[in-house]
Structure 1
């Protein structure tokens, strides 16, 4: 899409589950009977964490925003990283998980302080920073 630009993007959405046809009809019926929370509870066990993230990246199911068309309903679960999209017209249900971009993740270890005697000093010389393969 020409001229399309994402500003202040802090996360990506990964596909956890995509159901269509008879499988989706069962979940759509669950939404009608018990509400969207029941659908979240039903689909969340399909999220296998890093394995799901890796599969979504490998297969191209990672998105900058929640993918949805004009006939889709989108429900984001408060306080949860999940979003549910569904369409009765096209008979599908999709569960997505929000994941922060690497730049938004907090480091697991603080950066070394300048007065830290165990920190390795960084070189300022260009020749030492160049890697030849």
Structure 2
């Protein structure tokens, strides 16, 4: 499947999850529930993937973690905040660049309608 096909399926699964449990939970609850549902649908899901930071050719393991990578093609950053800030978009794009992935989904589950909390972010490599 292409990145676009995978992202389309992820969005459908996330919307069904949100319909079932609504807004107001912690990010970790949404992340784990989404990972469970994605695995049930046959996706390869990597959670809390360590992201090293390399500065001037020195690797620094300082604890950056990508919430999820699906089928080694699509990055997901899960949020549960009142309003997404510009830094959330910048963080997702930076993770895409550092990982070499092309497509990311920034999903804020703390919305009345999840469609308002889903953002596709593209790394133009």
TM-score, reference length from structure 1: 0.27
Higher relative contact order (CA 8 A, sep 6+): 1
Which structure has the greater CA radius of gyration?
1
Question: Per residue, is there more strand in 1 or in 2?
Answer: 2
